A and B are shown apart, each in its own frame.
Chain A
Amino acid sequence: MSQSEPYLRITGLTKKFGEFTALSDVSLEVLEGEFICFLGPSGCGKTTLLRAIAGLDIQTYGSVEQAGKDISELPPAERDFGIVFQSYALFPNLSIERNVGFGLENLGQSSEQVKKRVAELLALVGMPEQGRKYPAQLSGGQQQRVALARAIAISPGLLLLDEPLSALDAKVRVKLRHEIKQLQHKLGITTIMVTHDQEEALTMADRIVVINNGLIEQVGTPEQIYREPATRFVAEFIGAMNFLPASAGDGGEIRIGKTPVRVQGVDLPEGASALLAAIRPEDIRVGEGVENCVDARVESVEFLGPFVRAELSSEMDAGPLYADFSANLVREQSLARGSELRITLPADSIRLYPA
């Protein structure tokens, strides 16, 4: 059984703006029907990568292949994609119908066909019978749906979404997140979305590409990215993480302060004696475990609704340690400032990075 060819293949892509290198030697493969998120802080190059794929800002070096065809040098009009921008870029002087039908009219379809297809598309994005309105009469979320309908109208092979949700308020964002994902699943269209919102990426993507400073830090499923961040940047950027200064010990052990700590499932970074041990606040357990148990004291607690984030000082003497405890646990054990407790750092929850 042969491995299926990737739908999109980016090889050695470098983009320079004058002296500034926005992307440096980026390579990536995207399978057909996948939902990919480019995630990273602002200015990391994620939008540059998207625009290179669209042909809007063509790369300085490297190639882009789509469906087995080299499209590296092609202008946007000769590529096969639909795009939704953060601003939606709806044509303000055209009605919703005209906006959605804009691309269809170029395909030489009859006005009957266009009308039918536009109605279908508007129904698909949950906006039937709104076609006669103008963009300014719609809410941000509705405009977003129209932009989406317009982008998929000509059935492109690739859907590009450039921070499509970041201009919306939180509630609408969560709702649309779900809807876009469902729509994508239904159409089976290969999709790339740029976002700086990790929650968005974690909930929507099949695979996440974490980008920083023009380099790909990690490519993986949301779970891999969260559970096994490949670099310190990824660990820091996604979710909350404790970083504890550590040093390499004997036999797969490390030392945090003076305390020997066993780790499992990670390799010691080569050649680095100074390390950072990383553990997520929610992975810290209360009570005596089989290993890596230390005494700790609650220095302060912060109420965050379903859980409590506690700042702990421990006998490891490695700076403050944050731990998330469920509200129930806090009540049962009556944890408060000054409480003394035993905590466990599970060996398989600890990641190691060079300091």
Chain B
Amino acid sequence: MTATTATAAPRGRPVRARSSRDDRQMLAFMGVIMLYLVIALALPLYAILSKSFQNKDGEFVGLANFLEYFNTPALTHSIQNSLTIAVITTLISVSIAFTLAYGLSRSCMRFKGTFKVIAMVPILVPSLLPGIALVYLFGRQGMIRELLFGHDIYGPIGIVISEVFFTLPHALIIIMTALSIADARLYEAAESLNASKLRTFFTVTIPGARYGLISAAFVVFTLTITDFGAPKVIGGGYNVLATDIYKQVIGQQNFEMGAVVSLILLLPAGIAFMVDRIMQRKQVALLSARAVAYEPKPSPLFDWIMFAWAAVVSVFILTILLTCQYAALIKFFPYNLSLSLKNYQFDLMDGGGWASFYNSLELAGWTAVVGTAVVFLGAYMVEKGKGFHAGRALFQFLAMLPMAVPGLVLGLAYIFFFNAPDNPFNFIYHTMAILVISTITHFYTVAHLTAVTALKQMDPEFEAVGASLKSPFYRTFSRVTVPVCLPAILDISIYLFVNAMTTVSAVVFLYGPQTSLASVAVLNMDDAGDIAPAAAMGMMIFYTNAGMRIVHGLLSRGVLRKTQSWRNR
């Protein structure tokens, strides 16, 4: 076999490295978490795929469902609608995010910290909330409906405004990161070559941030096309793919057609996801070069323009938020504008009452605790374990997959998989457990990537040193890896908590009579016309998330000071 190669002929048989007890234990851990991903992700997705080829009685009908779909113009029209909304939202959201990020990272404007905090507010509320605010602002009896010059807020205009609000922080985070890794030396070089500010912008700034821009565009596109909250609340008669799935399943009980629409929605989301991954990889390559951090210099005119712009964006975000708060607090809009707390008496409405809020807290708590443990352990085993490369690659793939799967699709897939009578896991249907599992799975990817990034930043030789000192892996893990990664672990848990509070899409198919959730209550109360209580419940979610963020901030600082005193020289 080696006769044709120039290297020396190897002697004897290849060495087969014996695995240590650590290796075997780590592999077992990884196997268990991989099994979780298979059951909670791969098998349900398979179920939805096969369902799309079946009729109501579960018989295989080939492409019949797809043919029916494409012969129903009312349904196919949504494809165009979804793409239109997603493209327009992407253009607007990325433009705003880029200009804002540019101001925040490249100007010496004041109140940068405040603007950053305000820009993150949309992450803390369900995507249903901006729609509710828009109803109060621009609806039939809206406070400033004249500004629309007769256009209807129910429809594409309302959806796009809501989606811009909802996606802005995501785009901002990505673009800020891209702009913050700019190399000051390039700007000094440009200046020394007498390049104009404009030329420097187009030859240095834009190319440096291009992967971030493209990545942000795809993230916004995916979030928008898969979002269901905004079009549900403010879409009116304007159908998109996400609302179609909901209507097919909840409205018409046509699960097969729901599966077909799901697969169609999976396509653009999947493509956008793959392009984004490629871009991210290139961005990392750019980052690895050691650069000198860019420090903006004061420039009064530019700083004021950027300040004004950031103020405008902040006013937009705060207007949406405060409108909801206002809606929640007044008695009966627009006839009785006196303040009261009656809209917070959720037990008087449909939608599950206060119990749904407590259920949400429970879900968020479990998701944060269990999810963080599962995700971090999984990332550790897959990053630091040895051998079994095929399994490791499969694990990585499964961990990345949830990003490409819209929540509604995941939720529907869970119905098909877990509600099947012959499924041994059938007992978790309509319980808190299935909500926790679906939420962890839905938000697995970002959490996993956060963990992997933190683990990759650690010295790769820690494990080698541990092994040479005869320390079992779990000891090195608990005494070194976890403490060093604690900031990332806290980040993962707050991310999971906040998203568990706000998510609607996956859980809307899965909650049971005893497990209604706050975000779902917002949806259902809005559906029933109880818009003010819906706004009030949305604000409850906001208070909770804002409070948790503050706790997380304090906790992180406290933990950092206590256990990470080594960080301060």
> Which residues of A come within 8 Å of B, CB atoms?
11-12, 14, 21, 24-25, 54-56, 58-63, 72-79, 81-83, 85, 87, 89, 91-94, 102-103, 106-107, 134-137, 150-151, 153-154, 156
- In Å, the complex CA distance between A55 and B19 comes to 11
Neighbouring A residues of B461 by C-beta, 8 Å: 85, 87, 89
Q: Which A-B residue pairs are the 6 nearest by beta carbons? A: A103-B469, A75-B20, A134-B566, A61-B10, A25-B8, A89-B461
Do B479 and A91 touch across chains, with their CB atoms under 8 A apart?
A: yes
Asked if B483 is at the interface of the complex by the 8 Å CB criterion, the answer is: yes
> Which residues 423-472 of B have a CB within 8 angstroms of A?
459, 461-462, 464-472
Instruction: Kindly report which residue of chain B lies nearest to residue A51, judged by CB atoms.
Output: B464
Asked if B11 is at the interface of the complex by the 8 Å CB criterion, the answer is: yes
Neighbouring A residues of B462 by C-beta, 8 Å: 89, 91
Do A62 and B564 touch across chains, with their CB atoms under 8 A apart?
A: no
Instruction: Kindly report which residue of chain A lies nearest to residue B466, judged by CB atoms.
Output: A102
- Answer whether A75 and B8 are a contact pair too, CB < 8 Å, given A56-B464, A136-B566, A151-B468: no
Do B17 and A102 touch across chains, with their CB atoms under 8 A apart?
A: no
Instruction: Kindly report which residue of chain B lies nearest to residue A138, judged by CB atoms.
Output: B569
Neighbouring B residues of A102 by C-beta, 8 Å: 466, 469, 471, 479
Instruction: Give 16 pairs: A residue, B residue, CB < 8 Å, sorted on A.
Output: A12-B11, A21-B7, A58-B17, A63-B15, A74-B18, A75-B23, A77-B470, A77-B472, A78-B20, A82-B469, A87-B461, A93-B563, A103-B468, A106-B469, A136-B566, A137-B569
**Apart from A11-B11, A83-B465: 5 A-B pairs, beta carbons within 8 A:** A60-B14, A82-B469, A87-B461, A92-B566, A102-B479
Do A58 and B15 touch across chains, with their CB atoms under 8 A apart?
A: yes
- In Å, the complex CA distance between A74 and B469 comes to 15
Do B469 and A150 touch across chains, with their CB atoms under 8 A apart?
A: yes
Asked if B290 is at the interface of the complex by the 8 Å CB criterion, the answer is: no
Instruction: Kindly report which residue of chain B lies nearest to residue A78, judged by CB atoms.
Output: B20
CB distance from A158 to the nearest CB of B (A): 10
CB distance from A157 to the nearest CB of B (A): 12
Neighbouring A residues of B483 by C-beta, 8 Å: 93
- In Å, the complex CA distance between A51 and B18 comes to 15
Do A93 and B484 touch across chains, with their CB atoms under 8 A apart?
A: yes
Do B8 and A81 touch across chains, with their CB atoms under 8 A apart?
A: no
Instruction: Kindly report which residue of chain A lies nearest to residue B468, judged by CB atoms.
Output: A83
- In Å, the complex CA distance between A76 and B465 comes to 9
Do B468 and A81 touch across chains, with their CB atoms under 8 A apart?
A: yes
Neighbouring B residues of A150 by C-beta, 8 Å: 465, 469
Neighbouring B residues of A106 by C-beta, 8 Å: 469-472, 475
Interface centre among B13, B459, B461, B468 (most CB of A within 10 A): B468
Interface centre among B19, B464, B472, B484 (most CB of A within 10 A): B464
Neighbouring A residues of B297 by C-beta, 8 Å: none
Asked if B565 is at the interface of the complex by the 8 Å CB criterion, the answer is: yes
Interface string of B1-17 (1 = CB under 8 A from A): 00000011111111111
Asked if B22 is at the interface of the complex by the 8 Å CB criterion, the answer is: yes
Do B15 and A76 touch across chains, with their CB atoms under 8 A apart?
A: no
> Which residues 465-494 of B have a CB within 8 angstroms of A?
465-472, 475, 479-480, 483-484
- Answer whether A62 and B10 are a contact pair too, CB < 8 Å, given A102-B469, A154-B470: yes
- Answer whether A24 and B8 are a contact pair too, CB < 8 Å, given A77-B20, A106-B470: yes
Do A87 and B15 touch across chains, with their CB atoms under 8 A apart?
A: no
Do B569 and A60 touch across chains, with their CB atoms under 8 A apart?
A: no
Neighbouring B residues of A89 by C-beta, 8 Å: 459, 461-462, 464-465
Neighbouring B residues of A135 by C-beta, 8 Å: 566
Interface residue from A12, A56, A73, A91 paired with B16 (Cβ < 8 Å): A73
Neighbouring A residues of B16 by C-beta, 8 Å: 73
Do A77 and B15 touch across chains, with their CB atoms under 8 A apart?
A: no
- Answer whether A107 and B480 are a contact pair too, CB < 8 Å, given A25-B8, A73-B15: no
CB distance from A149 to the nearest CB of B (A): 12
CB distance from A109 to the nearest CB of B (A): 12
CB distance from B57 to the nearest CB of A (A): 52
Instruction: Kindly report which residue of chain B lies nearest to residue A101, judged by CB atoms.
Output: B469
Interface residue from A59, A93, A153, A154 paired with B566 (Cβ < 8 Å): A93
CB distance from A48 to the nearest CB of B (A): 14
Interface centre among B13, B21, B461, B472 (most CB of A within 10 A): B461
Do B565 and A134 touch across chains, with their CB atoms under 8 A apart?
A: yes
Do A77 and B11 touch across chains, with their CB atoms under 8 A apart?
A: no
Neighbouring B residues of A93 by C-beta, 8 Å: 480, 483-484, 563-564, 566
Neighbouring A residues of B466 by C-beta, 8 Å: 102
Neighbouring B residues of A153 by C-beta, 8 Å: 469
- In Å, the complex CA distance between A89 and B268 comes to 44
- In Å, the complex CA distance between A144 and B461 comes to 15
Instruction: Kindly report which residue of chain A lies nearest to residue B459, judged by CB atoms.
Output: A89
Do B11 and A83 touch across chains, with their CB atoms under 8 A apart?
A: no
CB distance from A62 to the nearest CB of B (A): 6
Do A76 and B18 touch across chains, with their CB atoms under 8 A apart?
A: no
Interface residue from A11, A62, A75 paired with B467 (Cβ < 8 Å): A75
Instruction: Kindly report which residue of chain B lies nearest to residue A11, judged by CB atoms.
Output: B11
- In Å, the complex CA distance between A62 and B19 comes to 18
Do B15 and A59 touch across chains, with their CB atoms under 8 A apart?
A: yes
Neighbouring B residues of A151 by C-beta, 8 Å: 468
- In Å, the complex CA distance between A81 and B465 comes to 10
CB distance from B547 to the nearest CB of A (A): 29
Do B11 and A62 touch across chains, with their CB atoms under 8 A apart?
A: yes
Instruction: Kindly report which residue of chain A lies nearest to residue B470, judged by CB atoms.
Output: A106
Do B459 and A107 touch across chains, with their CB atoms under 8 A apart?
A: no
- In Å, the complex CA distance between A11 and B469 comes to 26
Neighbouring A residues of B465 by C-beta, 8 Å: 83, 85, 89, 150
Neighbouring B residues of A76 by C-beta, 8 Å: 20, 464, 467-468
Do A60 and B464 touch across chains, with their CB atoms under 8 A apart?
A: no
Neighbouring B residues of A103 by C-beta, 8 Å: 468-471
Instruction: Kindly report which residue of chain A lies nearest to residue B566, judged by CB atoms.
Output: A134
Do B18 and A75 touch across chains, with their CB atoms under 8 A apart?
A: yes
CB distance from A44 to the nearest CB of B (A): 15
Do A94 and B479 touch across chains, with their CB atoms under 8 A apart?
A: yes
CB distance from B486 to the nearest CB of A (A): 9
